[in-house]
Structure 1
Amino acid sequence: MSNLLSRHLCLTTAIALAMATPVLAQETALDELVVTAQKREQNMQDVPISMSVVTGEQIADYHQTDLHDLMNSVPNVYVQRLNAADVVYIRGFGSAPANFAFDQSVSMYKDGIYAGRGKQFEAPFFDIERVEVLRGPQGALFGKNTPAGAISIVTAGPTRTFQGRVAGAYNFDLDGTEISGFVSGPLSEALSARLAVKFLDQDGWIHNVNTGYNDPRKKQRLARASLRYEPSDAVDVTAKLEYSDSQVRGANIVLGPPNAAGPVTTVRYSDGNPFGYPEANKVRSTNGSVVANFDWRDHTVTTVTGYSHYDAERTNVYSTDVPALYSNRMPEEFEQVSQEVRLLSPVGQRLEYVVGAYVDRSTYDLGYYLAYNMLGGTLAGRQHSEFEQTAKTYSLFGQGTFNVTEDLRLIGSLRWTQTDKKGAYDTYLDAGRPQRAITSARGKLSEDYLDPSVTVQYDLTDAIMFYAVYGRGSKSGGFVSNSFGTVDSTFIFKPEKSTNYEAGIKSTLDDGRIVLNVSVYDTTFKDLQSSIYDPTISAFVTKNAAQASSRGVEAVFLWQPVTSLKVTASGAYQDAKYDDFPGSTCLARQPVTECNPANPASIAANNIAGAPLTYSSKWTGNLQIAHKAALTEDLQLSSAIGLAYRSKYYNADNQSTVYGVQKGYTKIDARLALGHVDSGWEVALVGKNLTDERTYNFSFLLPAPLTADPRVHKFLDEPRTVLLEASLEF
């Protein structure tokens, strides 16, 4: 049935686009995209940064629920979806999830609150106003840990007028329901509020023959309450509190042969309750923010107070062994408080500036529990490790824009950051024989760094702006949190630093109906933090790569020829590779004569300079077409279709040419909706991955004796899904 619905949806969308264009043929201009990438509201076309903006309407059209869906709309972005958390890569750079204590190289900010860990916002796309994706280091204004880029999520806020929406959806392929809605409006003349909720309950897409369930099964309960207090034009205060309870049972793991190309299973046969713990990933998080703006003379003072907390527990089981021979369980708890203060100058003067200070403190606790019964019971037992970390960050920052002439601007930015961390790691044997080494480690670090940037911005015409940027970004060092065998000498890894050269043109053409932006960049990372799975020792190895670089071109195209039709397209080319990585673990595609994984001296002499960065495609691109047509005075037909292309990339840390290459693909999403213009109801059919492309976001080899049947484990992305959605706005 879903195949028939998908074909009908594609055909109907194409017909609607073709026949309805003349119905609403008034010429119009594109809506201005207002962003806050430079800590003040600006038109995206005035911001000298390579960036993409995904609106809440686009997110709703394609039923995007998380960052993994977002990558279909933004070039040079890859999101790895694992049980641990989503990990974002921009221009080929990101922080692999293997070391849980990693701060991310691509930082996420939600309503101004820094999130260095994906679990802080487990379901980020929920009642969203817009998402800003900033490519390249953003060391000055976004500051903490943004050497590769930043993603800023702005949630919808309270409104001065009463409004609301309720929506329900049923997914035919995942046999699940989703209910969401919000209500917003004034409580008094100065106070307004908004309450948004979401409930999700759906099955997975991989049948587990052993348990009878379709994995991974997902349940989410989300709520966000917002208050805005505006006693005068000079003061506004917005407070938001969000709670998330997300539970995933089972995993999206399928199996393939380890030594030769062959069929990958389409089902699972895994223990659903390994060693007495259900195979699951559970995350409960609470996040709050208070953003206050005060007029002071002709300036604006902004304070951003943040709180973020989550506790999580993940249990993994692998291969086809029932009962399981090996499993791991990882409980986590994280807490962070932060405070930022900014002073913003007025615009329209010769020197415009923003200066500020930021501080945060966090604690992080991680347990790593192993249970095993291998080699016919001769190696059986339980052991675990405990990791604790406390961290403090202080920073001062500023950016000044000197308007040399009406058309020429010089922008200088600088951020000083001090980071202090303490870490402790201990391993314990709980029962039986140890399967991994019993070790302990202690460490502390104190780092400070300066991240400057210089930008030249010039208006070639009223419609075309040129910019050139030099900038640096940094990410703090840290500790190895969950690799058994860690000792003092391997416990600490160094900070990573990036340098970026970039130039671009932003143009608004055809009386505002066309936006065309193009940028070129050259980014280099030094001491790139990496955590690579080594199947020869069945462990992740965390270290600093000496140097890596990414060079490429990015383009964004928007076109609205008539009121009823909007076209969005973007594309990118990148060449991301290691320039120098001495002492790297052996790649699977290296012959033994070049690197012998059984010989420590061979590994020490190994250098994978020239190898591409894992998870990086040379080519990415997308095309989205949205159309609205008036069928009668009361009824409107809306249609949208999106295509996302990505060329091949390595999805295994060891870059195996047998099982670690994801071939290039194009995914197609579409939406067809019928709605009433005045009463606000709408019924929509939404299809995702309509051509049913099978793609894998991570692959690794699990060897014996961790499993009786060595197999390649591949994390399978969602197949084709079709859902029916009904909504009512009031």
Structure 2
Amino acid sequence: MDFLQRSLAIGLGLVMGLSAFGVQAQEQELVFEEIIVTAQKREQSLQDVPISVSVVSGEKLTEAGIFTLDDLALYVPNFSKGESAIGPIIQIRGIATGANPAFEQSVVLYSDDVSLSRAPLARMPFMDLERVEVLRGPQNVLFGKNSIGGAISMISAKPTEDFEGSFSVRYEPDYEDSEVTGVISGSLNDSVRARLAARYADFGGYYENEALDRNEEQREETAVRLTLDFDVGDNAEASIKFEHDTVDSIGEGNELIFGYPNPNETINFEVAPGIIVPVPNPFFGLDYTQTVAALQASYNFGLIPPNPFFPPPVDVGSDTIKQDRIRRTAYDGYQDLDMTNVVLTYNQDFDDFMFTSITSYVDYQEDRLGGGGLSGIDISSILTYEEYQQISQEIRFTSDTGGRFEWIAGGFFQSWDLQADESTLLDDMNLPVLLGITGGFAGLEAAAFLDSTRFFTSDSTTYAGFGQLTWNASDSTRVILGGRYTHEEKTARRVVDIVNQLTGEFDAIQALVASCGFGVDYNTLGSINAFVPLPSCANLTAPEDTWEFGIYNTHDTTGRRNEDAFTPSLTFEFDLGDSHLLYASASTGFKAGGFDSRAPREKALQYEDEEVLGYELGLKSSLAGGRAQTNIAVFHSDYDDLQVSTFDGRAGFVVGNAAEYRAQGVEFDGRWRVTDHFTLSGAIAFIDSEFTDYENASCNEYLLLTGQVTFPCSRTGLPASNTPEWSANLIADLVLPLTGSMDFRATLDVIYEDEYFTESTKEIGTLQDAYTKFNLRVALEGDKWTLAVLGKNLSDEEVIEFSGPIALSGAELGAPTYFGFLQPPRTIAAQFEYRF
């Protein structure tokens, strides 16, 4: 907190000081170059846009080694990107989409005005970008229905008239990370320009997997983009972009970060059908990894399930949780992701307006094998396959500026198809893991080959019309009224099957394991119980078509939904002299409902849309004769019917509309050209986030195990996860001429975040302490070349970006344990770029 108080004092002092001597600044060479953005679908100065926007230039992306959204988030307060066990999570002001393949994102990615709304696409790296714009708050009017939390707009570098190009390499020796990027651009003839960019990167992995004797996550990335610009007559231009990206990885970048020892001194053991007696618990006091080792030892010793009357037959070893980037995971997991994006853009300039047409096609395929447990033993694995195709068409009419009225009007069409299949495979170790703690029947080893498969397909068609009208009421006052009407049609089908992997058949053994192992009686028909006695689990006399097994219910169900929504916005702008813009806005937004691809129960298919009403008050200033710029925004947003994915305490998730959420705070950023050779820039943000109504939330695993709570639990009054109250960054850039053709340049980035919980139930072991990171780049720059050394996270901070409970660790094994994804450790890389 002392750091933040000093930062605020320095920032306020800086603004006051700059304002005081602004009239004295006369050196035009110290004035900042104007930052042009398209946050309102027309080119404008950043200082003229009434939105809280952060902009990172393509030059900064390259120099700072910002290759992914994870890297970008460190430089944008109130924005985070993390990985979950199921997929990426993007978050702005505490608003994010839960982990479910069918969810569309609440913070939408846009690549050259085309939405990339599926979670896997957030893993795609950056390449040859002109800039990235991060827009905070609802952006539904101009960006579309789902951008309820914000939008991230990536703008590709454009073809140039003159021939130019670059070649760059980066190498980090400690983890054997390497990257090569090449760009060539220029005119093909008088009316055609082209730009070709290609990138290859290979990452050796920051984790040591002792079970497989290799580093993880090993990742290989390739990307190629070809852009062609055509002059079509005197007043028209067309552009076509083709891009193909792949991300192939081995292993995962997570580890066990926290766990409780088994607190139960006795367990219930079924000595005969229907007869359960308490016996001493041989696993009392053991943590998760020790428990799994003991079960495996018993299994290998020939006790099926492990006999609770005898202690584990072998020494289980020492605690293996939280060992600093060491993981012991036996499954050979992987992920292969391919994405293709084709965009055709046409612009024609008429006398008073510009006509724009954007036609696009996007598809991706993702194959992924993940594992459960992180125990060093191949307990289970989850095989997923996603395939997605999207076509969209947008037309816009954009008026010229300078008149009494300025306007944008347009229409939008989008159609997509999604296939998301998932198989949960339990291997020959699984039965003692699932049933060993509570006891079970001998001779059930065949049950270990359980295969539960979900087949999910969904399609959507969206039509929308939108418009925004600006009334220049006076030379210094403007009123902006916008609105978007959206109609969407969706259908879905989900099929769930449970079979024996060896026989392909469904039998009573599989039913017993599914029911007992995942803790829900087959007769509950949708309710979720913390524990189910074995006699209830073993009662398999009901007809097969009524069985409800744990998170599994064999079924084939379909759904259809239609939605209509109108989302208006209103903004007032006031020019306070020539250097200050004051604005106030109110905006609404909605995110369409849909279908749950992972739900275990036939009735749990649909969820409804979520809505937001947001307010923002901001001031954008140019100070000290243009040598400094500051932006400040105060915001308040209320979200209703938030779409959430709730962990049920075993291995299932419940998706629905369960929460109301409020976010309010302040965001400040600025930059100051101190001298001709030294520049300071930075940002600081405060957020007060709270779930104002969230009664059907996940439970703390330890409290659930010890009977202190029952599922579901309340999160009302708690803040959002992965949302620090305070976040800040400061960038100092120094350039010193050495000769007429060579400069020395040093850039120091200081990044701070307050403490925050990385897991939804606020388990104390998942609290990320406040931290400060330091990145330093030192470079020699010539006219056509740059040689640099880039150090990132020089203080070697261990930062958890997301965490969650290990499935079955608490409810079945009695030792609640959490895994976490950590940000990269300290790295020092060499960079070289040649330009021609």
**TM-score in same-fold range (> 0.5):** yes
Structure 2 residue aligned with 1:443: 559
The 8 Å contact of residues 581 and 621 in structure 2, kept in 1 or not, is answered as yes
Q: Of the candidates 337, 341, 350, which is equivalent to residue 283 of structure 1?
A: 337
Q: How does 1:555-570 map to 2 (within 5 A)?
A: 555-570=668-683
Structure 2 residue aligned with 1:331: 385
Structure 2 residue aligned with 1:526: 640
Q: How does 1:39-78 map to 2 (within 5 A)?
A: 39-78=41-80
Q: How does 1:412-431 map to 2 (within 5 A)?
A: 412-431=481-500
Q: Of the candidates 368, 379, 387, which is equivalent to residue 422 of structure 2?
A: 368
Q: How does 1:223-234 map to 2 (within 5 A)?
A: 223-234=224-235
Structure 1 residue aligned with 2:601: 486
Percent identity over the alignment? 30
Is 1:314 the counterpart of 2:368 in the alignment? yes
Q: 1:648: how far off? A: 1.2
Q: Which amino acid aligns with 2:470?
A: T
Q: Equivalents in 2 of 1:253, 1:231: separation in Å?
A: 52
Q: 1:541: how far off? A: 2.1
More moved, 428-437 vs 692-701: 428-437
Structure 1 residue aligned with 2:462: 393
The 8 Å contact of residues 109 and 153 in structure 2, kept in 1 or not, is answered as yes
Q: Of the candidates 796, 803, 826, which is equivalent to residue 720 of structure 1?
A: 826
Compare relative contact order (CA 8 Å, sep 6+) and give the higher one, 1 or 2: 1
Q: Of the candidates 645, 655, 659, which is equivalent to residue 542 of structure 1?
A: 655
More moved, 697-706 vs 541-550: 697-706
Q: How does 1:156-305 map to 2 (within 5 A)?
A: 156-259=157-260, 264-271=322-329, 274=331, 278-305=332-359
The 8 Å contact of residues 26 and 563 in structure 1, kept in 2 or not, is answered as no
Q: 1:668: how far off? A: 1.4
Q: Of the candidates 460, 471, 474, which is equivalent to residue 576 of structure 2?
A: 460
Distance change >3 Å, CA 589–CA 527, structure 1 → 2:
farther
Is 1:153 the counterpart of 2:209 in the alignment? no
Q: Equivalents in 2 of 1:319, 1:592: separation in Å?
A: 18
Q: Of the candidates 456, 462, 469, which is equivalent to residue 585 of structure 2?
A: 469
Structure 1 residue aligned with 2:277: none
Structure 1 SS opposite 2:96: coil
Q: Which amino acid aligns with 2:722?
A: Y
Q: How does 1:329-368 map to 2 (within 5 A)?
A: 329-368=383-422
Is 1:115 the counterpart of 2:116 in the alignment? yes
Q: Equivalents in 1 of 2:155, 2:565: separation in Å?
A: 29
Structure 1 SS opposite 2:50: coil
Structure 1 SS opposite 2:625: coil
Q: Of the candidates 87, 90, 97, which is equivalent to residue 88 of structure 1?
A: 90
Distance change >3 Å, CA 448–CA 312, structure 1 → 2:
same
Q: Which amino acid aligns with 2:426?
A: Y
Q: Which amino acid aligns with 2:499?
A: D
Q: How does 1:108-147 map to 2 (within 5 A)?
A: 108-120=109-121, 122-147=123-148
Q: Which amino acid aligns with 1:99?
A: N
Q: How does 1:659-670 map to 2 (within 5 A)?
A: 659-670=765-776
Q: 1:646: how far off? A: 1.0
The 8 Å contact of residues 532 and 653 in structure 1, kept in 2 or not, is answered as no
The 8 Å contact of residues 167 and 728 in structure 1, kept in 2 or not, is answered as yes
The 8 Å contact of residues 654 and 660 in structure 1, kept in 2 or not, is answered as no
Structure 2 SS opposite 1:364: strand
More moved, 359-368 vs 247-256: 247-256
Q: 1:590: how far off? A: 6.7
Q: Of the candidates 618, 630, 634, which is equivalent to residue 737 of structure 2?
A: 630
Q: Equivalents in 2 of 1:297, 1:214: separation in Å?
A: 61
Structure 1 residue aligned with 2:447: 379
Q: How does 1:1-12 map to 2 (within 5 A)?
A: none
Q: Of the candidates 598, 618, 643, which is equivalent to residue 504 of structure 1?
A: 618
The 8 Å contact of residues 104 and 145 in structure 1, kept in 2 or not, is answered as yes
Q: Equivalents in 1 of 2:706, 2:475: separation in Å?
A: 63
The 8 Å contact of residues 471 and 499 in structure 1, kept in 2 or not, is answered as yes
Is 1:695 the counterpart of 2:799 in the alignment? yes
Q: Of the candidates 776, 784, 790, which is equivalent to residue 686 of structure 1?
A: 790
Q: 1:173: how far off? A: 2.3
Q: 1:157: how far off? A: 1.1
Structure 1 SS opposite 2:448: strand
Structure 1 SS opposite 2:62: helix
Distance change >3 Å, CA 507–CA 708, structure 1 → 2:
same
Structure 2 SS opposite 1:60: helix
The 8 Å contact of residues 247 and 280 in structure 1, kept in 2 or not, is answered as yes
Structure 2 residue aligned with 1:671: 777
Q: How many residues align?
A: 689
Q: Equivalents in 2 of 1:590, 1:372: separation in Å?
A: 27
Q: Which has the larger radius of gyration?
A: 2
Q: 1:203: how far off? A: 0.4
The 8 Å contact of residues 257 and 766 in structure 2, kept in 1 or not, is answered as no
Structure 2 residue aligned with 1:403: 472
Structure 2 residue aligned with 1:15: none
Q: 1:148: how far off? A: 0.9
Structure 2 residue aligned with 1:610: 717
1:478-528 per-residue CA deviation (whole Å, 9 max, x = no partner) reads 111124x2322x211110111101101000011111101111011000001
Q: Which amino acid aligns with 1:289?
A: V
Q: Equivalents in 1 of 2:830, 2:709: separation in Å?
A: 54
Q: Which amino acid aligns with 2:733?
A: A
Structure 2 SS opposite 1:511: helix
Distance change >3 Å, CA 335–CA 649, structure 1 → 2:
same
Q: Equivalents in 1 of 2:143, 2:645: separation in Å?
A: 25
> Hey, which of these two has a bigger chunk of strand by percent?
1
Q: 1:122: how far off? A: 3.5
Q: 1:714: how far off? A: 1.6
Q: 1:672: how far off? A: 0.7
Task: Mark the runs of 5 or more structure 2 residues left unpaired by the alignment.
Answer: 1-26, 262-286, 288-318, 433-444, 502-509, 515-550
Distance change >3 Å, CA 122–CA 699, structure 1 → 2:
closer
Q: 1:428: how far off? A: 1.2
Q: 1:584: how far off? A: 2.7
Q: 1:27: how far off? A: 4.5
Q: 1:115: how far off? A: 1.1
Q: 1:538: how far off? A: 2.0
1:251-276 per-residue CA deviation (whole Å, 9 max, x = no partner) reads 1121134227996123545455x4xx
Distance change >3 Å, CA 118–CA 729, structure 1 → 2:
farther
Q: Equivalents in 2 of 1:361, 1:607: separation in Å?
A: 37
> Hey, which of these two has a bigger chunk of helix by percent?
2
1:385-409 per-residue CA deviation (whole Å, 9 max, x = no partner) reads 1110001111000000000001100
Q: Which amino acid aligns with 2:803?
A: S
Structure 2 residue aligned with 1:580: 693
Distance change >3 Å, CA 27–CA 298, structure 1 → 2:
closer
Q: Which amino acid aligns with 2:796?
A: D
Q: 1:588: how far off? A: 5.2
The 8 Å contact of residues 803 and 820 in structure 2, kept in 1 or not, is answered as yes
The 8 Å contact of residues 321 and 708 in structure 1, kept in 2 or not, is answered as no
Q: 1:675: how far off? A: 2.0
Q: Equivalents in 1 of 2:37, 2:143: separation in Å?
A: 14
Structure 1 SS opposite 2:61: helix
1:267-311 per-residue CA deviation (whole Å, 9 max, x = no partner) reads 545455x4xxx4011101101111110023321100011111000
Structure 1 SS opposite 2:341: strand
The 8 Å contact of residues 95 and 102 in structure 1, kept in 2 or not, is answered as yes
Q: Equivalents in 2 of 1:119, 1:608: separation in Å?
A: 28
Structure 2 residue aligned with 1:553: 666
1:603-653 per-residue CA deviation (whole Å, 9 max, x = no partner) reads 3xx542211111111111111112211111222111111111111111112
Q: 1:563: how far off? A: 2.9
